[in-house]
Amino acid sequence: MIITDSVAIDVRGMTKSFDGRTVVNGVDLQVRSGEVYGFLGPNGSGKTTFIRMLCGLLAADAGEGTCLGFDVIRESESIKRQVGYMTQRFSFYEDLSIDENLDFVARMYQVANRREAVRESIERLGLTGRHKQLAGQLSGGWKQRLALAACLIHNPRLLLLDEPTAGVDPKARRDFWEQIHDLAGQGLTFLITTHYMDEAERCDRLAYLSYGNLLAKGSAAEVVAQAGLTTWSVSGPGLHELAPRLREHPDVQQAVAFGARLHISGTDAERLEQAIAPFRTEPYSWSRINSGLEDVFIHLMGSSRDNFRE
């Protein structure tokens, strides 16, 4: 990837409320040009709302800054022309072919040399040979490629991808991320929301939004370090019975199943060790491990308040 010192997104205090509830609360975010930036958080955390404000589809209640050098509040129309936005749901005409869908999108953006642009887009995303196939007949992975091709047809400088791999098989997800990094290598900037921790680790930097509040940002290693979590792993019989007993202790902030093991975490290493001491007996096997992104995000979710809960 080609990450430069220039900034594609530089916003401060971005805020949005609906019916008196704040869903994005004073968020600051900076994304460098050529960067693949991951945007994480639980459902309903405000990620989609934030993205829609960035690309001019939704007016912010407060905030300031720039996106691609344009004022994010006053120059939203200019931003739209240089951004590709891929929504969570497949939003193309299922009774039209790949060719016809891309031609329609190119018409909307008034792309010069439209037919050539469609052909190049089909070749770039590996859709050659399927271009006459109806969109409704495509599998999830091929629909995803069509959506990405449509995002790119007007040669944007920034792609905003909202959970682009939801419901797609692991092979298609891996292929998709290879395409993302290939495009980033050509200088394109990405802001991508995801719930998958393996995808988060593929990003240059991350931000974690929970119920409207930005709780952490930085590289994956920095986000893990900022959380200050200590994590232990335990294996043995009857873990489904052990987990609720551990959770009863105030210094155990989470006890979560990871396959055939439990991860037990807390923010005070000494008190956590004291909490688990009575259980460090046969037939259990304990070891202290490095906290992972998933441990951190479960911790952040548990420590934040749902802004729609009374």
Count other Cβ atoms within 10 Å, centred on residue 308.
Answer: 12
CA distance 62 to 6: 24
Q: Is 8 helix (H, G, I), strand (E, B) or coil?
A: strand
Rounded to 5°, the CA angle 33-149-68 comes to 25
Give yes or no for residue 304 having a pLDDT over 80.
no
pLDDT grade for 87, boundaries at 50, 70 and 90? confident
Q: Which element (helix H / strand E) includes 299?
A: helix 293-302
214 DSSP β-pair partners: 209
Give yes or no for residue 290 having a pLDDT over 80.
yes
What pLDDT shows up at residue 170? 87
What pLDDT shows up at residue 2? 57
The two counts, helices (H) then strands (E), for the chain are: 11, 14
What pLDDT shows up at residue 125? 80
Name the most confidently modeled range: 24-28, 132-136, 301-305. Answer: 24-28
Give yes or no for residue 288 having a pLDDT over 80.
yes
Q: Which domains does the chain have, with CATH numbers?
A: 7-224 (3.40.50.300), 230-290 (3.30.70)
What pLDDT shows up at residue 32? 95
Instruction: Name the average pLDDT for the chain.
Output: 90
What pLDDT shows up at residue 139? 85
What pLDDT shows up at residue 3? 57
Report the percent of the chain where pLDDT is more than 70: 96
What pLDDT shows up at residue 200? 92
What pLDDT shows up at residue 266? 95
> Tens digits of per-residue pLDDT, 167-206?
788 888 888 899 999 999 999 999 999 888 889 999 999 9
Q: Which residue has the tokens 């996106």?
A: 67
DSSP β-ladder status, 285-289 and 205-210: unpaired
What pLDDT shows up at residue 189? 97
Average pLDDT over residues 238-247: 94
Q: Which residue has the tokens 């930005």?
A: 214
Residue 236 token pair: 């043995």
Q: Which of 15-24, 121-130, 260-269, 301-310 has the lowest mean pLDDT?
A: 301-310
What pLDDT shows up at residue 90? 77
What pLDDT shows up at residue 138? 86
Looking at the chain, which runs of residues are DSSP E strands?
7-18, 21-32, 36-40, 62-67, 70-71, 83-86, 158-162, 189-193, 205-210, 213-218, 230-235, 254-258, 261-266, 285-289
Write 273-280 long-range contacts (CB < 8 A, 24+).
273/230, 275/246, 275/249, 275/251, 276/232, 276/234, 276/246, 276/252, 279/234, 279/242, 279/245, 279/246
Q: Is the peptide bond before 283 cis (omega within 30 degrees of 0)?
A: yes
Taking the C-alpha atoms of 43, 48, 51 and 55 in order, what is their torsion angle to the nearest 10 degrees? Answer: 170
Distance from CA of residue 61 to its chain's centroid?
23
Q: Which residue has the tokens 């953006």?
A: 109
What pLDDT shows up at residue 306? 60
Which of 181, 147, 174, 140 lies closest to 162, judged by CA?
Answer: 147
Ordered strands of the 213-218 beta sheet: 83-86, 158-162, 189-193, 36-40, 205-210, 213-218
- 266 contacts 251 by C-beta, under 8 angstroms: yes
> Tens digits of per-residue pLDDT, 123-164?
888 888 888 899 889 888 888 888 899 999 999 999 999 888
- 185 contacts 279 by C-beta, under 8 angstroms: no
What pLDDT shows up at residue 44? 84
What pLDDT shows up at residue 130? 84
